[in-house]
Chains A and B, each alone.
Chain A
């Protein structure tokens, strides 16, 4: 697997211990200001401004607060957190300490994907090492009166537990099912306490931003999407792997980087993302363009897009928590529709009905899973309708 040779932000050099100790010397509002200035947005995909989240958690009332690292990297085609957890664990934990300092939390939890159980041992060793360096524990990072520690909680293999409120339910020992929002975890989170949940990449990026400054960070990316992003690139390209690239890079440019030009389509954002056809490859990978948590799946000319859609929809049928009606039964209904399509038995009228159902799922599902479950379906139907009908439909 290729790891990007570029050392822009996340992969750039940093003295973790020094950076952390510098950071906790600063007053909390200064750190939040720096983050606000940097316009750093959450790297999990939803793009919520990190400064706002930390500020909300910091100002929320509560004796006990938590910082949670969402390491339940489950989006199909995403594997960048694995790289960070493997090679940059110290930076991650330092980012969590920084966050704990800012929001006033004493406890940090890494919710680690079940499939990453093999990383647990090394992560724990890193935590122990940092305890040894007195970066964790009482007077953490040399900051008088600041106490913070981290432990790991294993997931059990449910995709839905990457949704932050489902993750919290799972932490509390319940079925991993999303909660109603509001209230948001920053005010009512784990055990009812204010909780800041961030992606692995966000913690690390925040550490770099606070050490090296918002100005430096903003030299990367676009005005609305500052900094860089890790992309997990897979599929029909010569050089799949994890790449750090500036935000706002076009799909075409990315494909050139990974030797994937000539692709028919690119799935941006994994199963819950959208399928971008070749004609739209000039679109930018950014919050104002095509947003992504980092998953890029390249489809070559030989790929059957209906098969692709079926594959993604099967995934959602499997992974929907089953709590709310539109997601539980909508995913199933769309999958049945795709099967009808592949048998050449889906009328255009029914396809319109399904498209309309997809829109209902997007607006009426309880959480992000259900809301994004029809994305792949809708974008593939929209962009590859003629391919699908030309190859399958008997009533052309």
Chain B
């Protein structure tokens, strides 16, 4: 059991809230006395619930008010002053995003006073925004650029710096900070402090000297950062970006000696279309396969295969822990935490280092795949692993850090050479002139392109848990999971609620399948679990993870869980820091819908039915899940970092 004295100084209130977004509660019941307020915006009348912001009221009238520091996922700041509007009878303009309506008012959203103020504030922001649009990865997808165009910025009214005033910080494997482009809207600060509760970024200094910076102004790679990249997804300009390896990947592709293999995670396929003008939630799995081949990748594999493999390993690990606790009466760490999300793993290593024993020792699917590629695949394909370059297409910036963790070389080589984000691959595809949405579809390559729906739903919050349960229930009870959960849909773990909780009473005990018998020490059946209540939980976004961890520390409900899925990013991997920009609750919901829809089309939706998974245990990982060889290749260990970097 975790040792409570081990707590680091990074306690529960390590990340102070950003400037408090005090607000007026929005009236919920329209029929309550005084719940509705009659207002006029640009001459149009509307009744809105008490407490609605001017911005939201305008949206209801299809009136567009420009915003910049505002983001749907974040607390209100009201600092850029781009959304200012005129309220009749008030001397000053009001920030539409921050102003709650509590009485009748007449609002003008584009009066001369308003337009002048917006233009001035843009002119001011452009003063120190250094960097040409041509050479910026956010060109054509930059909120500052768009606003400048919309407000007719045709010269730099108050001047414009020509020389950079900051060095670009490339110290992190995951996130690059170019503060020359920062306009100090503090979306990244609010993301890091409030949404993720990490607190790597904060405003320092005052007035014109204000900067967004790290602790002691250290390089990002040297501070407590979990690499989740949520700040990148919410930056309105190009001040934050992922550490892009595409030049190296192109070079490997061009090198005739190199065999370049790409594995693709489930989430990019449901989102990358957004970079090509498709609406969010358009899945382009098979078109993407063609595009990657045309880019020059020698093989295109599906990470979902190792997602299935992860389920086998992780579910076995859970069963082993349960057996140890219940049968062998040995002290084992519970709950078991998932370890697929490298952002979450680093979060735990920093903030809850005393709980590393709870983390599943399974590598993430990305790292399992790398290890399998440079061993089993190399052997089967007859290629020297030193000539294999493994690229991982991921929705994630933390995956870049993960593949560079020094211990991730169990194949004898660096298991995964490059983590590539959805955005970066979209860029590579654009460079090749391919029209992704209209490419002819094609399949993944054999032998390890085969995956089940269970692997696919890893992309959504609750997906790992659902996949694990689909297999665990069937293995433990001997009853088909679809007879326990209608249509194989385990609804309580789905959806965007911050923390989800579920209990399952084990109705029957099946025999221990052959493949697991070694790991379970020759146990014949799962009788020891019959009638037991399995308690599981799911948390996404590290702020929610923190809630669960604090509850566990306090000995609350979640400390009684057996298995908990944690994902660093809100919405799970579909909302990852490497996904197309912008992001919003609607966009993430659309991507999720696409994944669950695609899952239904697959030949199987249970990981243990994946024939290639069974093949690898037969041919290669011969002592089964959690066996000796899989421990060497597919499992890892963690670092109790606390507030240390290493």
Q: Is B171 an interface residue (CB 8 A)?
A: no
- Per-position 1/0 for B193-228, Cβ under 8 A of A: 000000000010111111000000000000000000
Q: Find out whether the CB atom of B121 lies under 8 angstroms from the CB atom of A325.
A: yes
B148 at the interface (CB under 8 A from A): no
Whether a CB of chain A sits under 8 angstroms from the CB of B78 is: yes
- With both beta carbons as reference points, the residue of chain B lying nearest to A180 in the complex is identified as B98
The 4 A-B pairs with the shortest beta carbon distances in the complex, nearest first, are: A322-B210, A320-B207, A329-B124, A332-B208
Closest A residue to B97 by beta carbon equals: A180
Q: Is the interface of B mostly helix, strand, loop or mixed?
A: loop
Most central of A323, A325, A364 by chain B CB within 10 Å: A325
The answer to whether A180 and B124 have CB atoms under 8 Å apart is: no
Which residue in chain B gives the minimum CB-CB distance to A179? B22
Question: A356-B120, A363-B91 are known contacts; what are 13 more A-B pairs with Cβ within 8 Å?
Answer: A175-B19, A316-B207, A317-B208, A320-B206, A323-B203, A324-B81, A325-B82, A325-B124, A325-B184, A329-B128, A357-B120, A360-B117, A364-B121
**Chain B: CB-nearest residue to A159:** B206
Known interface pairs A322-B208, A326-B124. Does A174 touch B78 (Cβ–Cβ under 8 Å)? no
Least CB distance, A354 to chain B, in whole angstroms: 9
| 10 examples of A-B residue contacts, CB within 8 angstroms | A173-B16, A324-B78, A324-B81, A326-B120, A333-B124, A360-B116, A362-B92, A363-B91, A364-B117, A366-B81
Query: Does any Cβ of B come within 8 Å of A365's Cβ?
Result: yes
- Evaluate whether A322 and B157 lie within 8 angstroms (CB atoms) in the complex, with A183-B24, A330-B124, A363-B93 already known: no
Report Cα–Cα, A172/B20, bound state, in Å. 10
Task: List the A side residues contacting B158 at CB < 8 Å.
Answer: 329, 333, 353, 357
Contact assessment for B100 and A328 in the assembled complex, using a CB-CB cutoff below 8 Å: no
- B81 adjacent to A325 (CB under 8 Å): yes
Chain B interface size, as a band, is 35 or more
Q: Are A321 and B116 in contact (CB under 8 A)?
A: no
Decide: A174 and B209 in contact? CB cutoff 8 A: no
Residue numbers in A under 8 Å from B24 (CB-CB): 182-183
User: Which residue of the partner chain A has the closest CB to B208?
Assistant: A332
The answer to whether B206 touches A318, judged by C-beta atoms less than 8 angstroms apart, is yes
Check B515 for interface membership: any CB of A closer than 8 A.
no
- Check A331 against B113 for contact (C-beta < 8 Å): no
Asked whether any CB of chain A lies closer than 8 Å to the CB of B125, the reply is yes
* Complexed CA–CA distance, A353 and B155 (Å): 13
- Chain B residue numbers with a CB within 8 Å of A173 are 16
Closest residue of chain B to A364, judged by CB?
A: B117
**B92 pairs with A363, CB closer than 8 A:** yes
Closest A residue by C-beta to B53: A180
* B23 interface contact, C-beta 8 A: yes
Once bound together, how far apart are the Cα atoms of A363 and B76, in whole Å? Answer: 20
Report whether A324 and B80 are in contact in the complex, using a CB–CB cutoff of 8 Å.
yes
> Is B21 interfacial (CB-CB < 8 Å)?
yes
In the assembled complex, which residues on chain A have CB atoms less than 8 Å from the CB atom of B125? 325, 329
On whether the beta carbons of B127 and A329 are closer than 8 Å, the reply is: yes
Residue of A nearest to B119 (CB): A360
Taking a contact as CB atoms under 8 Å apart, the answer to whether A329 and B208 are in contact is: yes
**Does B99 sit within 8 A of A, measured CB to CB?**
yes
Within 8 A of B (CB), among A165-218: 169, 172-175, 177, 179-180, 182-183, 188, 192
Cα A327 to Cα B125 in complex, Å, equals: 11
Q: Which of B159, B208, B210 counts the most A-chain CB atoms under 10 A from its CB?
A: B208
| Chain A residues positioned under 8 Å from B78 (CB to CB) | 180, 324, 366
Residues of B within 8 A of A331 (CB): 207-208
Q: For chain A residues 18-36, which have a beta carbon within 8 Å of chain B?
A: none
Interface residue? B95 (CB, 8 A): yes
User: When the two chains form the complex, which single residue of B16, B19, B91, B159 contacts A179, counting CB atoms closer than 8 Å?
Assistant: B19
Q: Cβ of B38 < 8 Å from any Cβ of A?
A: no
State which residues 371-426 of B face A: CB under 8 Å: none
Taking Cβ atoms with an 8 Å cutoff, the residues of A that contact B are 158, 160, 169, 172-175, 177, 179-180, 182-183, 188, 192, 316-333, 336, 353, 356-357, 360, 362-366, 371
CA–CA, A165 and B363, complex, Å: 48
B74 within 8 A of partner (CB): no
Least CB separation from A329: chain B residue: B124
- Interchain nearest-CB distance for A56 vs B (Å): 13
Q: Would you call A326 and B16 a contact (CB within 8 A)?
A: no
> Which of B24, B78, B117 gathers the greatest number of chain A CB atoms within 10 Å?
B117
Partner of B206, one of A319, A353, A366: A319
Q: Which of B1-57 contact A (CB under 8 A)?
A: 16-17, 19-24
B19 touches A322 (CB 8 A): no
Contacts of A321 in B (CB 8 A): 206-207, 210
Give the docked Cα–Cα distance between A323 and B19 (Å).
10
CA distance A215 to B78 in the complex (A): 43
A324–B84 Cα distance when bound, in Å, is 12
Q: Are A179 and B20 in contact (CB under 8 A)?
A: yes
Is the pair B102, A182 in contact by a Cβ cutoff of 8 Å? yes
Cα distance, A322 to B113, chains bound together (Å)? 23
Interface residue from B21, B76, B207 paired with A328 (Cβ < 8 Å): B207
B79 within 8 A of A: yes
Which listed residue (A319, A322, A353) contacts B184, Cβ 8 A? A322
Q: Which single residue of chain A is at the shortest CB-CB distance from B101?
A: A182
List of A residues within 8 angstroms of B210 by Cβ = 321-323, 328
Contact yes or no, B208 A366, CB < 8 A: no
Chain B residues with CB below 8 A from A320, complex form: 206-208
Interface centre among B76, B158, B184 (most CB of A within 10 A): B158
Given known contacts A180-B99, A183-B22, A353-B157, is B203 in contact with A326 (CB within 8 Å)?
no
Task: Name the residue in A179, A327, A353 with the highest tally of chain B Cβ atoms < 10 Å from its Cβ.
Answer: A179
Q: Which of A174, A192, A322, A364 has the most chain B CB within a 10 Å cutoff?
A: A364
* A179: chain B residues within 8 A (beta carbon): 19-20, 22
Using known A-B contacts A325-B121, A363-B92, determine if residue A180 contacts B21 with beta carbons closer than 8 Å. Answer: yes
Q: Which residue of B lies closest to A324 (CB)?
A: B79
Distance from A61 Cβ to chain B, minimum over Cβ atoms (Å): 11
Interface centre among B120, B128, B205 (most CB of A within 10 A): B120
Min CB distance B366 to A, Å, is: 38
Which residue in chain B gives the minimum CB-CB distance to A189?
A: B22
Judge whether B22 and A180 touch: CB under 8 Å.
yes
Smallest CB separation, A109 vs chain B (Å): 17
Chain A residues with CB below 8 A from B128, complex form:
329
Chain A residues whose CB sits within 8 angstroms of the CB of B91 once the complex forms: 363
- Contact, CB under 8 Å: A371 / B76: no
